[in-house]
């Protein structure tokens, strides 16, 4: 069944799957660090929230509702779910005004030297207490590029033989502020045109398979999500922010040891196309390092914050052994993004998120591949809607739910350099894009904001435009969606 891809919200017509999440994406993440710190502080100091009974139908029935009245200023919508969690937080309690819930402890913590049962060749688990925080960059800031570590990574990128395109960094203001970059089809700027390459993972090859992903953690609320995933025998891919990994190493270890896939989501969550080459290298390098220092393994997948990637960023990822993972898009208006992040800020209501989810499922049945959805584990609201409603509904609909590495038909061992034997999944820099699904998928974004003081010139690492041979195919540009969201 095909669902409508548009809905009327406050007299503004927005694509149903390009929610307020996309419209406000850059604005809200400008305060990404402040919100994360506030979330952690609230979780640590607030009294225990009272437990809530489930709202709506039991897990065997349908849950149907109209607009939620909990946050009147947020856009609302109608939706119908096949199932919900009997222990779900009531929908009326999932809003920006919700008090901080008591956080739950991890089910299991792990001793140094332990190894995951699902990775027979994994190195021993490091002791996170040996990590010296002062030896890492400041939290939630783009790392400096003059440290010995970053200089080494820069040299490794230079030695990789990968040509880095000579595109200048983009400037603040997103697509409207960068008309020349938008019009340059050779740039393949995902943000403004929906352009992808065959080296981007955008879908799962098998129909009705969901590549489950969560961005921006670990957070104080990630253990709640992990507990539910364990109860349902589900595994996910966690795109980790380096600053959060340094703050919550035990949670990162629990993700890894529990058989979930851990991947890179940068150190401070910037728009990567706005950075110099050296800054991109620092963002990716420090995140790879903290993940290895905590888990003992180095991931080989990444997701660019906001989906902000072009061929310059792709080439640096390739040189650093990282495969970009996006989320599925089937048209300029049908983007597989729940918008769950924006419940916390009040920009989006939980009813709109569930309407987005319903549209995602409707559109998923119309394509010949599986799909990947954008969700987050940074805030309690996004975790509540995932564990209470989205995941139970997906299970009731009989979707096959897997981490990205498994959904592209690779074993979990292929997700890490130390456990990848290079026979089934050779490093991306070798020229074999073995993890690509080869299907189109992306999302558009406009009106970005941020500090552009460092973006006035191209990085000295920039060279001639990347050769077409770096990527195995050229994906034609989709129409710019800037006009839709302006």
Enumerate the active-site residues: 215, 376
Helix (H, G, I), strand (E, B) or coil at 214: strand
Residue at token pair 């989006």: 348
| 300: Cβ contacts below 8 Å, ≥ 6 apart | 321, 322, 323, 414, 415, 416, 417, 420, 427, 428
CB 284 within 8 A of CB 236: no
* Maximum distance among all Cα pairs of the chain, rounded to whole angstroms: 60
Peptide bond into 218 cis (omega under 30): yes
CB 173 within 8 A of CB 26: no
Phi-psi region of 102 (alpha: psi -120 to 50; beta: other; left: phi over 0): beta
* Exposure of 336 in the CB half-sphere (CA atoms within 13 A): 27
Residue at token pair 């800020």: 345
Which residue, among 390, 380, 483, 475, has the nearest Cα to 433 in the 3D structure? 475
| 384: Cβ contacts below 8 Å, ≥ 6 apart | 88, 89, 93, 94
Q: How far is CA 155 from CA 127, 147, 216, 247, 281, in A?
A: 29, 12, 28, 29, 10
Q: How far is CA 321 from CA 37, 238, 430, in A?
A: 31, 18, 9
CB 168 within 8 A of CB 458: yes
């Amino acid at each position: 069944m095909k669902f409508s891809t548009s809905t009327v919200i406050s007299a503004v017509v927005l694509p149903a799957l390009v929610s307020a999440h996309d419209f406000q994406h850059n604005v809200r993440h400008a305060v990404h660090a402040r919100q994360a710190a506030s979330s952690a502080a609230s979780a640590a100091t607030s009294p225990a929230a009272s437990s809530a009974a489930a709202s709506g139908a039991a897990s065997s029935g349908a849950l149907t509702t109209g607009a939620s009245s909990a946050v009147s200023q947020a856009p609302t919508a109608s939706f119908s779910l096949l199932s919900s969690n009997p222990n779900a937080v009531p929908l009326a309690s999932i809003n920006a005004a919700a008090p901080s819930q008591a956080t739950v402890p991890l089910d299991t913590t792990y001793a140094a030297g332990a190894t995951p049962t699902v990775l027979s060749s994994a190195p021993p688990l490091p002791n996170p207490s040996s990590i010296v925080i002062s030896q890492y960059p400041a939290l939630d800031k783009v790392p400096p590029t003059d440290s010995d570590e970053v200089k080494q990574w820069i040299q490794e990128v230079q030695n990789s033989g990968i040509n880095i395109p000579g595109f200048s960094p983009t400037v603040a203001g997103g697509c409207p502020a960068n008309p020349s970059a938008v019009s340059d089809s050779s740039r393949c700027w995902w943000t403004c045109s929906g352009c992808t390459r065959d080296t981007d993972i955008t879908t799962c090859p098998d129909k009705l398979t969901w590549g489950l992903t969560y961005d921006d953690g670990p957070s104080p609320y990630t253990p709640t999500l992990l507990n539910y995933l364990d109860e349902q025998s589900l595994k996910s891919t966690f795109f980790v922010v380096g600053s959060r990994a340094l703050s919550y190493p035990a949670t990162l270890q629990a993700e890894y040891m529990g058989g979930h896939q851990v991947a890179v989501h940068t150190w401070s969550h910037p728009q990567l196309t706005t950075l110099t080459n050296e800054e991109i290298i620092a963002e990716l390098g420090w995140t790879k390092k903290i993940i290895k220092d905590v888990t003992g393994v180095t991931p080989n997948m990444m997701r660019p914050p906001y989906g902000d990637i072009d061929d310059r960023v792709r080439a640096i990822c390739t040189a650093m052994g990282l495969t970009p993972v996006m989320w599925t898009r089937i048209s300029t208006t049908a983007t597989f993004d729940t918008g769950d992040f924006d419940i916390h800020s009040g920009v989006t209501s939980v009813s709109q998120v569930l309407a987005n989810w319903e549209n995602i499922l409707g559109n998923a049945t119309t394509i010949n591949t599986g799909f990947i959805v954008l969700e987050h584990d940074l805030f309690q609201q996004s975790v509540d809607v995932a564990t209470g409603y989205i995941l139970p509904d997906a299970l009731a609909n009989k979707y096959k739910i897997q981490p990205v590495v498994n959904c592209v038909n690779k074993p979990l061992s292929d997700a890490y350099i130390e456990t990848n034997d290079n026979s089934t999944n050779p490093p991306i820099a070798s020229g074999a894009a073995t993890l690509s699904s080869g299907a189109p998928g992306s999302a558009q974004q406009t009106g970005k904001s941020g500090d552009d003081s460092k973006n006035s010139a191209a990085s000295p690492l920039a060279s001639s435009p990347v050769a077409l041979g770096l990527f195995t195919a050229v994906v034609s540009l989709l129409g710019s969606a800037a006009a839709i969201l302006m």
